[in-house]
């Protein structure tokens, strides 16, 4: 075996200094917990989960340096030194001029959408994200998906940058509604709901050229920008020898600002920020942040949280860290693939998306909610908590009230950063492969309670056949 073979799935590039015991519930306890939660994995208690891969949001493990940083919190109401550290770090790594802190990513989305969108506007994006689209629509915009067609096809594993913008779709929207009705394009790097799929540097450059030709701003959803940079480094010609830090900096050099959820690639548990180069937008954003978040030098975060975020953002650019992270996802994907479990391919940067439509090919998207049923069944069977990303998450059309029918009907196995080891992933894969062998025992679900907005968070369901997994 060569060093390269041994490092194909390199061991965790960290040592474990503090541990948190996990729950092991019996089958009957899991069934009860699931029924109490209305078959919605969001509503299960954390202590009822064995391996919790619901989300990578805010579930990161912080380093010893970040914990030390918490002790350096300057909790002054105005002018906390931790804010200046965060601001300096973001400016250096992202290259944007202005940084407005917010309590999390959606706080930044709220401010950006409110300040730039007029009723009747259009916001194109490379696939929607739940909270992002919500804020665009709340301010009167219509979201238009301009991602390449391949992003909607789980079986196209030959496309290395499945998150790319389709420039023809973007141009067609400009021709149809006029550039003055498009305040910005929301460019997500990576694209969460497409399966954590990256955007190439070439596409970022071309998208930015087209947008700027018409005076349209390019605002990134920067949530997973470090994972995107890793894919550029490993897949795009000319970037093999660049550092992650250089690639992130170049990605953002083509745009006008970003919203950031600190709960993902910043390696913290809470926080976010909004960046821009436009001074006028910055001034107006600080006016709004005081109304909804807090002073422009804390924006809903404690001083210590800003310190942990500044340190975490720098750590996230470490090559050993990011390569291990993305390889963990690939490891889980390859294991599930060996059991023929249908998935979105290529594997993404933060999660494996199982194709629930193909897994539960006896169920109907609208009538049986296959992804919701599958996420519930995985929990009941193994104690592993995953998330629905299908028709339930997609919600209803604002105007017609009809369900959106996303092509991707998936459950998401989202790996928290620096939390689980390869042994945990083995358990996840083995359980799901076993469940796949008895997939036709799984019943569809029906709505019991459907909330009017962001319904996936708190909706409740029950099995259509009384029993979720026949005979289990």
Active-site residue set: 77, 129-130, 221, 264, 389, 456
Considering beta carbons, is residue 150 or 221 the nearer one to ligand PLP?
A: 221
Strand order in the sheet with 351-355: 351-355, 410-414, 387-389
Classify the phi-psi angles of 459: left when phi > 0, otherwise alpha if psi is within -120 to 50, otherwise beta.
Answer: beta
Q: How many helices (H) and strands (E) does the chain have?
A: 19, 12
The string over 25-43, giving b where at least 16 C-beta atoms fall within 10 Å of a residue's C-beta and e elsewhere, is beeeebbebbeebbbbbbe
Q: Is 351 in the site for ligand PLP (CB under 6 A)?
A: no
Distance separating alpha carbons of residues 182 and 176, to the nearest angstrom: 11
Q: Is 57 in the site for ligand PLP (CB under 6 A)?
A: yes
- Ranked by CB distance to ligand PLP, the top (closest) residue is 105
Task: Identify which of 366, 96, 339, 327 has the alpha carbon closest to the alpha carbon of residue 219.
Answer: 96
Element (H, E) at 257: strand 257-261
Instruction: Work out which of 89, 110, 113, 131 binds ligand PLP, going by CB under 6 A.
Output: 131
| CB 19 to ligand PLP: min, Å | 26
Q: Is 272 in the site for ligand PLP (CB under 6 A)?
A: yes
Considering beta carbons, is residue 348 or 383 the nearer one to ligand PLP?
A: 348
Instruction: Work out which of 69, 73, 105, 198 binds ligand PLP, going by CB under 6 A.
Output: 105
Q: Which stretch binds ligand PLP (CB under 6 A): 103-111, 135-143, 202-210, 279-287?
A: 103-111
Considering beta carbons, is residue 50 or 456 the nearer one to ligand PLP?
A: 456
Q: How close are the terminal C-alpha atoms of the chain, in Å?
A: 43
Q: Is 162 in the site for ligand PLP (CB under 6 A)?
A: no
- For residue 125, the SS3 value is strand
| CB 67 to ligand PLP: min, Å | 21
Task: Identify which of 283, 284, 286 has the alpha carbon closest to the alpha carbon of residue 273.
Answer: 286
x-or-dash pattern for ligand PLP, window 208-247, by CB under 6 A? -------------x-x------------------------
Phi and psi angles of residue 290, each rounded to the nearest 5 degrees, phi first: -70, -25
| CB 293 to ligand PLP: min, Å | 12
CA distances from 319 to 5, 226, 231, 426 (A): 18, 10, 12, 24
Distance separating alpha carbons of residues 40 and 30, to the nearest angstrom: 13
Q: 260 forms bridges with which residues in the sheet? A: 273
Q: Which stretch binds ligand PLP (CB under 6 A): 20-28, 126-134, 148-156, 395-403?
A: 126-134
Q: Which stretch binds ligand PLP (CB under 6 A): 111-119, 127-135, 308-316, 391-399?
A: 127-135
Considering beta carbons, is residue 300 or 333 the nearer one to ligand PLP?
A: 300
| CB 95 to ligand PLP: min, Å | 20
Q: Is 132 in the site for ligand PLP (CB under 6 A)?
A: yes
Q: How many angstroms from the chain centroid is the CA of residue 250?
A: 21
Q: Is 393 in the site for ligand PLP (CB under 6 A)?
A: no
Distance separating alpha carbons of residues 25 and 31, to the nearest angstrom: 10
Q: Is 129 in the site for ligand PLP (CB under 6 A)?
A: yes
| CB 41 to ligand PLP: min, Å | 17
Q: Is 389 in the site for ligand PLP (CB under 6 A)?
A: no
Considering beta carbons, is residue 54 or 442 the nearer one to ligand PLP?
A: 54
Q: What is the contact surface with ligand PLP in residues (CB under 6 A)? A: 57, 104-106, 129, 131-132, 188, 192, 221, 223, 261, 263, 272
């Amino acid at each position: 075996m060569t060093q390269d073979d041994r490092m194909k799935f390199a061991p965790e590039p960290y040592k474990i200094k503090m541990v948190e015991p996990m729950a092991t519930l019996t089958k009957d306890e899991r069934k009860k917990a699931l029924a109490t939660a209305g078959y919605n994995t969001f509503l299960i208690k954390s202590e009822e989960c064995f391996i919790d891969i619901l989300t990578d949001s805010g579930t990161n493990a912080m380093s010893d340096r970040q914990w030390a940083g918490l002790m350096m919190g300057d909790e002054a109401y105005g002018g906390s030194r931790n804010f200046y550290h965060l601001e300096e770090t973001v400016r250096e790594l992202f290259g944007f001029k202005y940084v407005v802190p917010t309590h999390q990513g959606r706080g930044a989305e709220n401010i950006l959408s409110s300040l730039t969108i007029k009723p009747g506007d259009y916001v194109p994006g490379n696939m929607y994200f739940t909270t992002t689209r919500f804020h665009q629509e709340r301010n009167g915009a219509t979201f238009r998906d301009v991602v390449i067609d391949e992003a909607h096809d789980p079986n196209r594993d030959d496309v290395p940058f499945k998150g790319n913008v389709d420039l023809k779709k973007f141009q067609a929207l400009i021709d149809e509604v006029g550039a003055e009705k498009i305040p910005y394009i929301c460019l997500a790097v990576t694209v969460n709901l497409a399966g954590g799929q990256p955007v190439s540097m070439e596409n970022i450059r071309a998208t930015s050229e087209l947008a700027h030709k018409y005076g349209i701003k390019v605002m990134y959803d920067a949530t997973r920008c470090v994972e995107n940079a890793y894919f550029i480094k490993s897949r795009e010609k000319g970037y093999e020898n660049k550092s992650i830090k250089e690639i992130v900096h170049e990605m953002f050099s083509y745009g006008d600002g970003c919203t950031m959820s600190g709960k993902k690639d910043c390696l913290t548990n809470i926080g976010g920020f909004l960046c821009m180069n436009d001074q006028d937008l910055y001034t107006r954003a600080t006016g709004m942040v005081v109304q909804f978040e807090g002073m422009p030098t804390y924006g809903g975060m404690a001083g210590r949280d800003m310190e942990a975020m500044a340190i975490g953002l720098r750590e996230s650019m470490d090559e050993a860290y990011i390569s291990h992270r993305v390889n963990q996802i690939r490891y889980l994907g390859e294991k599930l693939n060996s059991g023929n479990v249908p998935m979105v391919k290529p594997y993404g940067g933060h999660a494996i998306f199982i194709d629930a439509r193909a897994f539960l090919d006896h169920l109907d998207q609208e009538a049986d909610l296959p992804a919701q049923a599958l996420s519930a069944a995985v929990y009941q069977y193994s104690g592993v908590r995953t998330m629905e990303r299908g028709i339930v998450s997609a919600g209803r059309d604002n105007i017609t009230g009809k369900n959106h029918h996303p092509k991707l009907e998936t459950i998401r196995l989202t790996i928290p950063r620096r939390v689980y080891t390869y042994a945990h992933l083995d358990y996840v894969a083995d359980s799901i492969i076993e469940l796949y062998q008895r997939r036709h025992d799984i019943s569809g679900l029906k709505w019991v309670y459907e909330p009017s907005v962001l319904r996936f968070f708190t909706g409740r369901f029950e099995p259509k056949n009384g029993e979720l997994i026949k005979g289990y």
